[in-house]
Structure 1
Amino acid sequence: MLCVRFRGTMDAWDPLFLDSLAARGFEVLTFDYSGLGQSTGERTYSPASLARDAIDLVVGLKLGKVVMGGWSVGGMAAQIVLAKAPQLVSHAVLIATTPPGPLVKPGEPLFYTLARRENDFEDFVTLFFEPADPASRAAAERSARRLAERTDDVSPAVPFEWAGQQLGDGPQNPVFPADAVLHALKSTSVPVLHLGADHDIVFPVENWYALNGQLPTLHLVTLPRTGHGPQLEYPEASASHIAAFVGSDEQAAP
Protein backbone atom coordinates (compact mmCIF):
# COMPACT_ATOMS: atom_id res chain seq x y z
CA MET A 1 0.00 0.00 0.00
CA LEU A 2 1.40 3.36 -1.06
CA CYS A 3 0.50 6.66 0.65
CA VAL A 4 1.14 9.52 -1.74
CA ARG A 5 3.02 12.81 -1.40
CA PHE A 6 1.87 16.35 -0.61
CA ARG A 7 -0.31 17.65 -3.46
CA GLY A 8 -0.23 14.19 -5.02
CA THR A 9 -3.02 11.86 -6.07
CA MET A 10 -3.04 8.23 -7.18
CA ASP A 11 -1.76 9.46 -10.54
CA ALA A 12 1.41 11.01 -9.08
CA TRP A 13 3.02 7.56 -8.91
CA ASP A 14 5.24 6.91 -11.92
CA PRO A 15 3.65 4.04 -13.90
CA LEU A 16 7.04 2.43 -14.49
CA PHE A 17 7.69 2.34 -10.75
CA LEU A 18 4.32 0.67 -10.12
CA ASP A 19 4.78 -1.75 -13.02
CA SER A 20 8.26 -2.60 -11.77
CA LEU A 21 6.90 -3.42 -8.32
CA ALA A 22 4.19 -5.59 -9.90
CA ALA A 23 6.79 -7.35 -12.05
CA ARG A 24 8.63 -8.26 -8.84
CA GLY A 25 5.59 -9.97 -7.38
CA PHE A 26 3.83 -7.18 -5.49
CA GLU A 27 0.13 -6.42 -5.63
CA VAL A 28 0.24 -2.62 -5.46
CA LEU A 29 -2.55 -0.52 -3.97
CA THR A 30 -2.65 3.27 -4.41
CA PHE A 31 -5.43 5.56 -3.23
CA ASP A 32 -6.53 9.17 -2.83
CA TYR A 33 -6.76 10.58 0.68
CA SER A 34 -10.16 11.63 2.01
CA GLY A 35 -11.42 14.76 0.29
CA LEU A 36 -8.63 14.75 -2.31
CA GLY A 37 -8.47 13.41 -5.84
CA GLN A 38 -11.44 11.11 -6.38
CA SER A 39 -12.16 10.50 -2.69
CA THR A 40 -15.03 12.06 -0.80
CA GLY A 41 -14.86 13.33 2.76
CA GLU A 42 -13.11 16.15 4.58
CA ARG A 43 -9.70 17.06 3.22
CA THR A 44 -6.73 17.60 5.47
CA TYR A 45 -2.98 17.11 5.48
CA SER A 46 -2.85 16.06 9.12
CA PRO A 47 -0.54 13.01 9.00
CA ALA A 48 -2.68 11.30 11.64
CA SER A 49 -5.75 11.62 9.42
CA LEU A 50 -3.85 10.34 6.39
CA ALA A 51 -2.71 7.36 8.46
CA ARG A 52 -6.31 6.71 9.47
CA ASP A 53 -7.25 6.53 5.78
CA ALA A 54 -4.58 3.88 5.24
CA ILE A 55 -5.60 1.88 8.31
CA ASP A 56 -9.28 2.01 7.34
CA LEU A 57 -8.42 0.79 3.85
CA VAL A 58 -6.32 -2.15 5.08
CA VAL A 59 -9.01 -3.17 7.56
CA GLY A 60 -11.92 -2.55 5.19
CA LEU A 61 -10.36 -4.64 2.43
CA LYS A 62 -9.30 -7.34 4.92
CA LEU A 63 -5.74 -7.26 3.62
CA GLY A 64 -4.09 -8.57 6.76
CA LYS A 65 -0.45 -7.48 6.98
CA VAL A 66 0.83 -5.22 4.22
CA VAL A 67 4.04 -3.57 3.17
CA MET A 68 3.14 -0.02 4.19
CA GLY A 69 4.80 2.52 1.92
CA GLY A 70 4.69 6.29 1.86
CA TRP A 71 6.27 9.15 -0.06
CA SER A 72 6.88 12.55 1.55
CA VAL A 73 3.90 13.35 3.83
CA GLY A 74 2.71 9.85 2.95
CA GLY A 75 5.86 8.58 4.64
CA MET A 76 4.83 10.38 7.82
CA ALA A 77 1.44 8.67 7.55
CA ALA A 78 3.13 5.30 7.07
CA GLN A 79 5.20 5.83 10.22
CA ILE A 80 2.05 6.62 12.20
CA VAL A 81 0.41 3.44 10.90
CA LEU A 82 3.45 1.51 12.11
CA ALA A 83 3.18 3.15 15.53
CA LYS A 84 -0.60 2.83 15.94
CA ALA A 85 -1.33 -0.45 14.15
CA PRO A 86 1.89 -2.49 13.93
CA GLN A 87 -0.18 -5.66 13.55
CA LEU A 88 -1.09 -4.47 10.05
CA VAL A 89 2.48 -3.85 8.87
CA SER A 90 4.97 -6.49 7.72
CA HIS A 91 7.51 -3.94 6.42
CA ALA A 92 7.61 -0.14 6.21
CA VAL A 93 8.95 1.46 3.03
CA LEU A 94 9.52 5.21 3.45
CA ILE A 95 10.36 7.26 0.37
CA ALA A 96 11.86 10.76 0.59
CA THR A 97 10.26 11.58 3.91
CA THR A 98 11.25 12.92 7.31
CA PRO A 99 11.78 11.13 10.59
CA PRO A 100 9.97 12.38 13.69
CA GLY A 101 11.75 14.60 16.15
CA PRO A 102 14.50 17.25 15.90
CA LEU A 103 16.38 17.42 12.62
CA VAL A 104 20.07 17.88 11.95
CA LYS A 105 19.29 19.52 8.61
CA PRO A 106 16.06 21.36 7.72
CA GLY A 107 14.57 21.58 4.25
CA GLU A 108 15.20 24.44 1.85
CA PRO A 109 12.97 27.55 1.71
CA LEU A 110 12.62 27.02 -2.06
CA PHE A 111 10.18 24.18 -1.45
CA TYR A 112 7.72 26.53 0.23
CA THR A 113 7.74 28.78 -2.82
CA LEU A 114 7.14 25.91 -5.21
CA ALA A 115 4.47 24.31 -3.02
CA ARG A 116 2.23 27.39 -3.17
CA ARG A 117 1.97 27.78 -6.93
CA GLU A 118 0.88 25.87 -9.99
CA ASN A 119 3.91 23.87 -11.08
CA ASP A 120 5.39 23.63 -14.55
CA PHE A 121 8.05 21.22 -15.82
CA GLU A 122 10.92 23.28 -14.40
CA ASP A 123 9.32 23.12 -10.97
CA PHE A 124 8.92 19.35 -11.41
CA VAL A 125 12.65 19.06 -12.13
CA THR A 126 13.63 21.28 -9.22
CA LEU A 127 11.45 19.44 -6.73
CA PHE A 128 12.04 15.84 -7.67
CA PHE A 129 15.34 15.68 -9.58
CA GLU A 130 18.74 17.40 -9.73
CA PRO A 131 18.25 20.29 -12.18
CA ALA A 132 21.97 20.94 -12.68
CA ASP A 133 22.64 17.38 -13.84
CA PRO A 134 21.89 16.56 -17.52
CA ALA A 135 21.21 12.88 -16.82
CA SER A 136 18.77 13.75 -14.03
CA ARG A 137 17.02 16.29 -16.26
CA ALA A 138 16.69 13.64 -18.98
CA ALA A 139 15.20 11.26 -16.41
CA ALA A 140 12.70 13.98 -15.47
CA GLU A 141 11.62 14.27 -19.09
CA ARG A 142 11.05 10.51 -19.29
CA SER A 143 9.11 10.44 -16.02
CA ALA A 144 6.95 13.40 -17.04
CA ARG A 145 6.06 11.64 -20.30
CA ARG A 146 5.07 8.49 -18.43
CA LEU A 147 2.95 10.44 -15.96
CA ALA A 148 1.17 12.16 -18.86
CA GLU A 149 0.26 8.90 -20.60
CA ARG A 150 -2.82 8.26 -18.52
CA THR A 151 -5.70 10.45 -19.68
CA ASP A 152 -8.80 8.46 -18.65
CA ASP A 153 -10.28 8.57 -15.14
CA VAL A 154 -7.46 10.78 -13.85
CA SER A 155 -7.83 12.05 -10.29
CA PRO A 156 -8.45 15.82 -10.08
CA ALA A 157 -5.39 17.79 -9.01
CA VAL A 158 -5.14 18.92 -5.40
CA PRO A 159 -5.83 22.69 -5.39
CA PHE A 160 -2.47 24.37 -4.86
CA GLU A 161 -4.09 27.38 -3.18
CA TRP A 162 -5.58 25.17 -0.46
CA ALA A 163 -2.51 22.99 -0.15
CA GLY A 164 -0.23 25.99 0.27
CA GLN A 165 -2.36 27.19 3.18
CA GLN A 166 -1.57 23.96 5.03
CA LEU A 167 2.14 24.81 5.19
CA GLY A 168 3.97 27.08 7.57
CA ASP A 169 6.00 30.06 6.43
CA GLY A 170 9.21 28.11 5.91
CA PRO A 171 11.29 25.11 6.97
CA GLN A 172 10.31 23.75 10.37
CA ASN A 173 12.33 21.80 12.89
CA PRO A 174 10.93 19.37 13.74
CA VAL A 175 8.53 18.91 10.83
CA PHE A 176 7.00 15.90 12.51
CA PRO A 177 6.92 16.36 16.31
CA ALA A 178 5.64 12.86 17.17
CA ASP A 179 7.39 11.41 20.22
CA ALA A 180 5.23 8.27 20.15
CA VAL A 181 6.23 7.58 16.56
CA LEU A 182 9.93 8.06 17.31
CA HIS A 183 9.58 5.70 20.26
CA ALA A 184 7.88 3.15 17.99
CA LEU A 185 10.70 3.37 15.47
CA LYS A 186 13.24 2.86 18.25
CA SER A 187 11.49 -0.23 19.61
CA THR A 188 9.83 -1.90 16.61
CA SER A 189 10.71 -5.31 15.21
CA VAL A 190 9.17 -4.34 11.86
CA PRO A 191 11.85 -3.79 9.19
CA VAL A 192 12.01 -0.18 7.99
CA LEU A 193 13.54 1.01 4.71
CA HIS A 194 14.13 4.64 3.86
CA LEU A 195 14.68 5.18 0.14
CA GLY A 196 16.07 8.67 -0.24
CA ALA A 197 17.93 11.11 -2.45
CA ASP A 198 21.25 12.88 -2.11
CA HIS A 199 19.64 16.31 -2.68
CA ASP A 200 16.11 16.32 -1.31
CA ILE A 201 15.14 19.98 -0.92
CA VAL A 202 12.12 19.05 1.20
CA PHE A 203 13.34 16.32 3.57
CA PRO A 204 17.14 15.98 3.57
CA VAL A 205 18.26 12.39 3.87
CA GLU A 206 20.92 13.39 6.41
CA ASN A 207 18.22 13.31 9.09
CA TRP A 208 17.82 9.56 8.66
CA TYR A 209 21.55 8.93 8.83
CA ALA A 210 21.63 10.86 12.11
CA LEU A 211 19.28 8.21 13.56
CA ASN A 212 21.06 5.25 12.05
CA GLY A 213 22.43 4.02 15.37
CA GLN A 214 19.14 4.50 17.22
CA LEU A 215 16.62 2.70 15.00
CA PRO A 216 17.27 -1.05 15.24
CA THR A 217 15.53 -2.14 12.02
CA LEU A 218 16.41 0.81 9.76
CA HIS A 219 17.82 0.20 6.28
CA LEU A 220 19.03 3.20 4.30
CA VAL A 221 19.32 3.47 0.53
CA THR A 222 20.31 6.83 -0.95
CA LEU A 223 20.22 7.35 -4.70
CA PRO A 224 22.59 9.82 -6.41
CA ARG A 225 21.98 13.11 -8.25
CA THR A 226 18.28 13.24 -7.57
CA GLY A 227 15.73 15.06 -5.45
CA HIS A 228 12.42 14.58 -3.66
CA GLY A 229 11.29 11.81 -6.03
CA PRO A 230 14.06 9.18 -6.18
CA GLN A 231 11.59 6.59 -7.48
CA LEU A 232 10.75 8.92 -10.38
CA GLU A 233 14.35 9.08 -11.56
CA TYR A 234 15.13 5.45 -10.72
CA PRO A 235 11.80 3.59 -10.99
CA GLU A 236 13.19 0.14 -11.74
CA ALA A 237 16.13 0.39 -9.33
CA SER A 238 13.79 1.63 -6.58
CA ALA A 239 11.47 -1.33 -7.13
CA SER A 240 14.47 -3.69 -7.02
CA HIS A 241 15.70 -2.21 -3.74
CA ILE A 242 12.22 -2.55 -2.23
CA ALA A 243 11.83 -6.12 -3.47
CA ALA A 244 15.23 -7.12 -2.06
CA PHE A 245 14.38 -5.49 1.27
CA VAL A 246 10.99 -7.18 1.58
CA GLY A 247 12.16 -10.51 0.19
CA SER A 248 15.07 -11.07 2.53
CA ASP A 249 14.23 -13.82 5.04
CA GLU A 250 16.64 -12.29 7.52
CA GLN A 251 14.49 -9.15 7.71
CA ALA A 252 11.15 -10.82 8.32
CA ALA A 253 9.41 -9.49 11.42
CA PRO A 254 8.07 -12.10 13.88
Structure 2
Amino acid sequence: MDTLSFNHTALTAPNRTVEVGGRRLAYRRFGHGPNLVLCVRFRGTMDSWDPLFLDLLARDFTVNVFDYSGLGLSTGKPSYVKTDMAQDVDDLVTALGLGKVAIAGWSIGGIAAQVFAALHPEKVSHVLAIGTMPPGLMVKPSAPLFLQTAFKPENGIEDQYILFFEPDSARSRAAGDASVARIASRSMVVDAITPPAVMIQSVIESADPTTPFPDPDGRYQAFYRSTDIPVLALSGDHDIMFPVENWYAMNDLWPTLFVVTWPDSGHGPQHQYPELSADLIASFVKNNPRPV
Protein backbone atom coordinates (compact mmCIF):
# COMPACT_ATOMS: atom_id res chain seq x y z
CA MET A 1 0.00 0.00 0.00
CA ASP A 2 1.18 3.51 -0.81
CA THR A 3 0.95 4.90 2.75
CA LEU A 4 1.86 8.39 1.54
CA SER A 5 -1.28 8.37 -0.62
CA PHE A 6 -3.48 6.75 2.02
CA ASN A 7 -2.75 9.36 4.69
CA HIS A 8 -3.38 12.49 2.62
CA THR A 9 -6.29 14.53 1.30
CA ALA A 10 -6.75 16.70 -1.76
CA LEU A 11 -5.34 19.70 0.13
CA THR A 12 -2.37 17.92 1.72
CA ALA A 13 -1.22 15.40 -0.89
CA PRO A 14 2.33 16.39 -1.86
CA ASN A 15 3.42 17.38 -5.32
CA ARG A 16 5.32 14.48 -6.84
CA THR A 17 7.01 14.06 -10.21
CA VAL A 18 8.02 11.27 -12.51
CA GLU A 19 10.59 11.55 -15.30
CA VAL A 20 9.31 10.04 -18.52
CA GLY A 21 9.75 10.72 -22.21
CA GLY A 22 12.32 13.44 -21.65
CA ARG A 23 10.02 15.51 -19.47
CA ARG A 24 8.80 15.68 -15.88
CA LEU A 25 5.13 14.98 -15.20
CA ALA A 26 3.79 16.40 -11.93
CA TYR A 27 1.07 14.54 -10.06
CA ARG A 28 -0.65 14.07 -6.70
CA ARG A 29 -1.94 10.79 -5.40
CA PHE A 30 -4.22 10.11 -2.43
CA GLY A 31 -7.09 7.93 -1.23
CA HIS A 32 -7.47 4.17 -1.41
CA GLY A 33 -9.09 1.70 -3.77
CA PRO A 34 -8.86 1.20 -7.54
CA ASN A 35 -6.92 3.83 -9.46
CA LEU A 36 -8.83 6.79 -10.87
CA VAL A 37 -6.92 9.20 -13.12
CA LEU A 38 -8.45 12.63 -13.73
CA CYS A 39 -7.61 14.82 -16.74
CA VAL A 40 -8.21 18.50 -16.05
CA ARG A 41 -9.94 21.21 -18.09
CA PHE A 42 -8.46 23.82 -20.45
CA ARG A 43 -6.20 26.26 -18.57
CA GLY A 44 -6.41 23.98 -15.54
CA THR A 45 -3.77 22.49 -13.29
CA MET A 46 -3.97 20.15 -10.30
CA ASP A 47 -5.20 23.11 -8.24
CA SER A 48 -8.27 23.60 -10.46
CA TRP A 49 -10.20 20.64 -9.03
CA ASP A 50 -12.64 21.24 -6.19
CA PRO A 51 -10.94 19.55 -3.20
CA LEU A 52 -14.28 18.41 -1.77
CA PHE A 53 -15.11 16.54 -4.97
CA LEU A 54 -11.68 14.88 -4.93
CA ASP A 55 -11.87 13.93 -1.26
CA LEU A 56 -15.27 12.36 -1.76
CA LEU A 57 -13.85 10.32 -4.65
CA ALA A 58 -10.91 9.31 -2.45
CA ARG A 59 -13.27 7.35 -0.19
CA ASP A 60 -13.58 4.79 -3.00
CA PHE A 61 -10.57 5.36 -5.27
CA THR A 62 -6.90 6.10 -5.24
CA VAL A 63 -7.18 9.51 -6.90
CA ASN A 64 -4.46 10.58 -9.33
CA VAL A 65 -4.44 14.19 -10.60
CA PHE A 66 -1.67 15.59 -12.79
CA ASP A 67 -0.47 18.50 -14.93
CA TYR A 68 -0.24 18.14 -18.70
CA SER A 69 3.20 18.55 -20.26
CA GLY A 70 4.49 22.11 -20.02
CA LEU A 71 1.72 23.28 -17.67
CA GLY A 72 1.82 23.79 -13.92
CA LEU A 73 4.75 21.85 -12.48
CA SER A 74 5.19 19.58 -15.50
CA THR A 75 7.97 20.26 -18.01
CA GLY A 76 8.06 19.76 -21.75
CA LYS A 77 6.17 21.46 -24.56
CA PRO A 78 2.58 22.38 -23.70
CA SER A 79 0.02 20.99 -26.12
CA TYR A 80 -3.73 20.61 -26.24
CA VAL A 81 -3.54 18.19 -29.16
CA LYS A 82 -5.82 15.37 -28.02
CA THR A 83 -3.32 12.59 -28.70
CA ASP A 84 -0.59 14.53 -26.88
CA MET A 85 -2.76 14.81 -23.78
CA ALA A 86 -3.61 11.11 -24.06
CA GLN A 87 0.12 10.39 -24.26
CA ASP A 88 0.61 12.25 -20.98
CA VAL A 89 -1.97 9.92 -19.42
CA ASP A 90 -0.37 6.82 -20.86
CA ASP A 91 3.12 7.84 -19.74
CA LEU A 92 1.88 8.59 -16.22
CA VAL A 93 -0.09 5.34 -15.93
CA THR A 94 2.86 3.33 -17.21
CA ALA A 95 5.51 5.09 -15.13
CA LEU A 96 3.51 4.68 -11.91
CA GLY A 97 2.57 1.08 -12.69
CA LEU A 98 -1.12 1.78 -12.18
CA GLY A 99 -2.35 -1.09 -14.32
CA LYS A 100 -5.97 -0.82 -15.47
CA VAL A 101 -7.53 2.50 -14.42
CA ALA A 102 -10.82 4.32 -14.46
CA ILE A 103 -10.09 7.34 -16.61
CA ALA A 104 -12.00 10.57 -16.02
CA GLY A 105 -11.78 13.96 -17.64
CA TRP A 106 -13.42 17.36 -17.38
CA SER A 107 -14.05 19.51 -20.46
CA ILE A 108 -11.06 19.16 -22.82
CA GLY A 109 -9.74 16.61 -20.33
CA GLY A 110 -12.80 14.48 -21.06
CA ILE A 111 -11.78 14.41 -24.69
CA ALA A 112 -8.25 13.36 -23.67
CA ALA A 113 -9.75 10.60 -21.52
CA GLN A 114 -11.85 9.28 -24.39
CA VAL A 115 -8.88 9.31 -26.76
CA PHE A 116 -6.70 7.51 -24.19
CA ALA A 117 -9.33 4.80 -23.75
CA ALA A 118 -9.69 4.32 -27.50
CA LEU A 119 -5.92 4.07 -28.00
CA HIS A 120 -5.27 1.90 -24.95
CA PRO A 121 -8.47 -0.02 -24.15
CA GLU A 122 -6.52 -2.71 -22.30
CA LYS A 123 -5.57 -0.12 -19.68
CA VAL A 124 -9.08 1.18 -18.98
CA SER A 125 -11.90 -0.17 -16.83
CA HIS A 126 -14.30 2.79 -17.17
CA VAL A 127 -14.53 6.17 -18.91
CA LEU A 128 -16.02 9.08 -16.94
CA ALA A 129 -16.70 12.07 -19.21
CA ILE A 130 -17.53 15.21 -17.19
CA GLY A 131 -18.75 18.41 -18.83
CA THR A 132 -17.36 17.38 -22.18
CA MET A 133 -18.43 16.04 -25.59
CA PRO A 134 -18.31 12.82 -27.59
CA PRO A 135 -16.15 12.56 -30.73
CA GLY A 136 -17.34 14.02 -33.97
CA LEU A 137 -19.28 17.12 -34.93
CA MET A 138 -21.64 18.53 -32.31
CA VAL A 139 -25.39 18.44 -33.01
CA LYS A 140 -25.67 21.54 -30.81
CA PRO A 141 -22.77 23.99 -30.98
CA SER A 142 -21.15 25.83 -28.12
CA ALA A 143 -22.14 29.42 -27.37
CA PRO A 144 -19.63 32.13 -28.42
CA LEU A 145 -19.85 33.61 -24.92
CA PHE A 146 -18.01 30.65 -23.46
CA LEU A 147 -14.87 30.94 -25.56
CA GLN A 148 -14.94 34.74 -25.33
CA THR A 149 -14.82 34.34 -21.55
CA ALA A 150 -12.40 31.40 -21.48
CA PHE A 151 -9.79 33.31 -23.50
CA LYS A 152 -9.71 36.33 -21.21
CA PRO A 153 -6.26 36.72 -19.64
CA GLU A 154 -7.84 36.55 -16.17
CA ASN A 155 -11.22 35.26 -15.02
CA GLY A 156 -13.08 36.88 -12.11
CA ILE A 157 -16.02 35.44 -10.20
CA GLU A 158 -18.59 36.58 -12.76
CA ASP A 159 -16.55 34.80 -15.42
CA GLN A 160 -16.51 31.67 -13.24
CA TYR A 161 -20.31 31.71 -13.15
CA ILE A 162 -20.40 31.88 -16.95
CA LEU A 163 -17.74 29.25 -17.48
CA PHE A 164 -18.69 26.60 -14.96
CA PHE A 165 -22.12 27.31 -13.46
CA GLU A 166 -25.51 28.76 -14.41
CA PRO A 167 -25.22 32.54 -14.02
CA ASP A 168 -29.00 33.10 -14.13
CA SER A 169 -29.60 30.78 -11.17
CA ALA A 170 -29.16 31.97 -7.60
CA ARG A 171 -28.74 28.36 -6.49
CA SER A 172 -25.99 27.71 -9.01
CA ARG A 173 -24.19 30.97 -8.20
CA ALA A 174 -24.22 30.08 -4.51
CA ALA A 175 -22.81 26.64 -5.28
CA GLY A 176 -20.19 28.37 -7.42
CA ASP A 177 -19.20 30.67 -4.57
CA ALA A 178 -18.79 27.65 -2.27
CA SER A 179 -16.70 25.73 -4.80
CA VAL A 180 -14.46 28.71 -5.58
CA ALA A 181 -13.91 29.22 -1.84
CA ARG A 182 -12.93 25.58 -1.38
CA ILE A 183 -10.45 25.78 -4.23
CA ALA A 184 -9.04 29.04 -2.82
CA SER A 185 -8.54 27.39 0.58
CA ARG A 186 -5.48 25.56 -0.72
CA SER A 187 -2.39 26.85 1.07
CA MET A 188 -0.15 23.97 2.16
CA VAL A 189 0.54 22.38 -1.21
CA VAL A 190 0.22 24.46 -4.36
CA ASP A 191 0.92 24.03 -8.04
CA ALA A 192 2.90 26.42 -10.22
CA ILE A 193 0.90 29.10 -12.00
CA THR A 194 1.15 28.82 -15.77
CA PRO A 195 1.05 32.24 -17.47
CA PRO A 196 -2.29 32.66 -19.28
CA ALA A 197 -0.45 33.54 -22.49
CA VAL A 198 1.28 30.13 -22.48
CA MET A 199 -2.00 28.26 -22.16
CA ILE A 200 -3.79 30.37 -24.73
CA GLN A 201 -0.95 30.12 -27.25
CA SER A 202 -0.73 26.37 -26.79
CA VAL A 203 -4.41 25.85 -27.50
CA ILE A 204 -4.21 28.10 -30.57
CA GLU A 205 -1.31 26.04 -31.89
CA SER A 206 -3.21 22.84 -31.14
CA ALA A 207 -6.55 23.90 -32.63
CA ASP A 208 -8.22 22.07 -35.46
CA PRO A 209 -10.19 24.45 -37.70
CA THR A 210 -13.18 22.11 -38.16
CA THR A 211 -14.28 20.78 -34.77
CA PRO A 212 -13.13 20.67 -31.13
CA PHE A 213 -12.84 16.89 -31.33
CA PRO A 214 -11.50 15.95 -34.77
CA ASP A 215 -12.58 12.48 -35.89
CA PRO A 216 -12.32 12.77 -39.67
CA ASP A 217 -12.10 9.04 -40.30
CA GLY A 218 -14.64 8.06 -37.67
CA ARG A 219 -12.03 6.13 -35.68
CA TYR A 220 -13.24 7.11 -32.24
CA GLN A 221 -16.90 6.84 -33.14
CA ALA A 222 -16.30 3.32 -34.42
CA PHE A 223 -14.50 2.40 -31.22
CA TYR A 224 -17.25 3.62 -28.90
CA ARG A 225 -19.94 1.98 -30.99
CA SER A 226 -18.32 -1.40 -30.36
CA THR A 227 -16.44 -1.19 -27.05
CA ASP A 228 -17.42 -3.01 -23.86
CA ILE A 229 -15.92 -0.23 -21.68
CA PRO A 230 -18.68 1.39 -19.60
CA VAL A 231 -18.93 5.13 -20.30
CA LEU A 232 -20.60 7.65 -18.00
CA ALA A 233 -21.29 11.13 -19.37
CA LEU A 234 -22.03 13.59 -16.58
CA SER A 235 -23.26 17.00 -17.74
CA GLY A 236 -25.05 20.12 -16.61
CA ASP A 237 -28.39 20.85 -18.25
CA HIS A 238 -27.11 24.19 -19.56
CA ASP A 239 -23.48 23.63 -20.51
CA ILE A 240 -22.85 26.37 -23.05
CA MET A 241 -19.51 24.91 -24.14
CA PHE A 242 -20.41 21.24 -24.56
CA PRO A 243 -24.21 20.94 -24.55
CA VAL A 244 -25.56 17.70 -23.13
CA GLU A 245 -27.70 17.30 -26.25
CA ASN A 246 -24.58 16.00 -28.02
CA TRP A 247 -24.54 13.05 -25.63
CA TYR A 248 -28.25 12.38 -26.13
CA ALA A 249 -27.47 11.94 -29.82
CA MET A 250 -25.08 9.09 -28.94
CA ASN A 251 -27.44 7.29 -26.54
CA ASP A 252 -28.78 4.78 -29.06
CA LEU A 253 -25.44 4.43 -30.87
CA TRP A 254 -23.02 3.61 -28.03
CA PRO A 255 -23.98 0.34 -26.32
CA THR A 256 -22.27 1.11 -23.00
CA LEU A 257 -23.11 4.81 -22.65
CA PHE A 258 -24.94 6.22 -19.62
CA VAL A 259 -25.93 9.90 -19.71
CA VAL A 260 -26.70 11.79 -16.50
CA THR A 261 -27.77 15.44 -16.40
CA TRP A 262 -27.63 17.63 -13.30
CA PRO A 263 -30.31 20.36 -13.27
CA ASP A 264 -29.78 24.10 -13.06
CA SER A 265 -26.08 23.72 -13.81
CA GLY A 266 -23.43 24.40 -16.41
CA HIS A 267 -19.96 23.28 -17.48
CA GLY A 268 -18.73 22.24 -14.01
CA PRO A 269 -21.47 19.92 -12.70
CA GLN A 270 -19.09 18.05 -10.40
CA HIS A 271 -18.21 21.30 -8.62
CA GLN A 272 -21.84 22.35 -8.20
CA TYR A 273 -22.93 18.89 -7.04
CA PRO A 274 -19.75 17.33 -5.59
CA GLU A 275 -21.50 14.82 -3.32
CA LEU A 276 -23.94 13.59 -5.96
CA SER A 277 -21.22 13.44 -8.60
CA ALA A 278 -18.72 11.51 -6.46
CA ASP A 279 -21.38 9.09 -5.23
CA LEU A 280 -22.61 8.48 -8.77
CA ILE A 281 -19.11 7.85 -10.11
CA ALA A 282 -18.32 5.40 -7.31
CA SER A 283 -21.59 3.54 -7.78
CA PHE A 284 -21.17 3.45 -11.55
CA VAL A 285 -17.70 1.90 -11.33
CA LYS A 286 -18.68 -0.55 -8.58
CA ASN A 287 -21.99 -1.72 -10.02
CA ASN A 288 -21.23 -1.63 -13.73
CA PRO A 289 -17.93 -3.51 -14.14
CA ARG A 290 -16.32 -3.99 -17.51
CA PRO A 291 -16.74 -7.58 -18.68
CA VAL A 292 -13.66 -9.71 -18.07
The normalised TM-score by structure 2 is 0.82
Shift of residue 161, structure 1, vs aligned partner: 2.5
Q: Say which of 226, 238, 259 aligns to 1:187.
A: 226
Alignment-derived partner of residue 16 in structure 2? none
Structure 2 unmatched ranges of 5 or more: 1-36
1:252 has 2:290 as partner = yes
CA distance in 2, matches of 1:212, 1:146: 34
Contact between 1:109 and 1:171, CA under 8 Å: does it hold in 2? no
1:174 has 2:227 as partner = no
Shift of residue 246, structure 1, vs aligned partner: 0.3
Q: Say which of 238, 242, 252 aligns to 1:203.
A: 242
Q: Say which of 133, 147, 152 aligns to 1:112.
A: 147
Contact between 1:90 and 1:253, CA under 8 Å: does it hold in 2? no
Alignment-derived partner of residue 62 in structure 1? 97
Tell me: higher relative CO, structure 1 or 2? Use CA pairs within 8 A at least 6 residues apart: 1
Q: Classify the secondary structure of the residue corresponding to 1:29.
A: strand
Alignment-derived partner of residue 123 in structure 1? 159
Shift of residue 116, structure 1, vs aligned partner: 1.5
1:225 has 2:264 as partner = yes
CA distance in 2, matches of 1:219, 1:91: 11
Output the amino acid matched with 1:48.
Answer: T
Contact between 2:69 and 2:75, CA under 8 Å: does it hold in 1? yes
Q: CA-to-partner distance for each residue in 1:189-210, whole Å, 9 max, x for gaps?
A: 0100001110111111100101
Contact between 1:7 and 1:157, CA under 8 Å: does it hold in 2? no
Alignment-derived partner of residue 30 in structure 2? none
Q: Say which of 157, 163, 166 aligns to 2:193.
A: 157
Q: Classify the secondary structure of the residue corresponding to 1:28.
A: strand
Contact between 2:125 and 2:289, CA under 8 Å: does it hold in 1? no
Alignment-derived partner of residue 80 in structure 1? 115
CA distance in 1, matches of 2:219, 2:208: 22
Q: Classify the secondary structure of the residue corresponding to 1:30.
A: strand
CA distance in 1, matches of 2:47, 2:264: 24
Shift of residue 98, structure 1, vs aligned partner: 1.2
Shift of residue 171, structure 1, vs aligned partner: 11
Comparing 149-158 with 57-66, greater Cα deviation is found at 149-158
Q: Classify the secondary structure of the residue corresponding to 2:259.
A: strand
Shift of residue 172, structure 1, vs aligned partner: 7.2
Q: Classify the secondary structure of the residue corresponding to 2:171.
A: helix
CA distance in 2, matches of 1:109, 1:30: 29
Q: CA-to-partner distance for each residue in 1:126-158, whole Å, 9 max, x for gaps?
A: 111111111111101100110001123322233
Shift of residue 181, structure 1, vs aligned partner: 1.4
Output the amino acid matched with 1:77.
Answer: A
1:136 has 2:172 as partner = yes
Alignment-derived partner of residue 80 in structure 2? 45
Q: 1:136 to 1:171 in 2, by over 3 A?
A: farther
Structure (1 or 2) with the greater strand fraction: 2
Structure (1 or 2) with the greater helix fraction: 1
Output the amino acid matched with 1:122.
Answer: E
Contact between 1:106 and 1:172, CA under 8 Å: does it hold in 2? no
CA distance in 2, matches of 1:251, 1:90: 7
1:95 has 2:135 as partner = no
CA distance in 2, matches of 1:173, 1:241: 34
Q: How many residues end up aligned between the 2 structures?
A: 251
Output the amino acid matched with 2:92.
Answer: L
Q: 1:136 to 1:173 in 2, by over 3 A?
A: farther
Q: Classify the secondary structure of the residue corresponding to 1:157.
A: coil
Q: 1:151 to 1:74 in 2, by over 3 A?
A: same
Contact between 1:197 and 1:225, CA under 8 Å: does it hold in 2? yes
Shift of residue 103, structure 1, vs aligned partner: 1.3
CA distance in 2, matches of 1:52, 1:125: 32
Identity score, percent: 51
CA distance in 2, matches of 1:77, 1:181: 12
Q: 1:171 to 1:54 in 2, by over 3 A?
A: closer
Q: Classify the secondary structure of the residue corresponding to 2:225.
A: helix
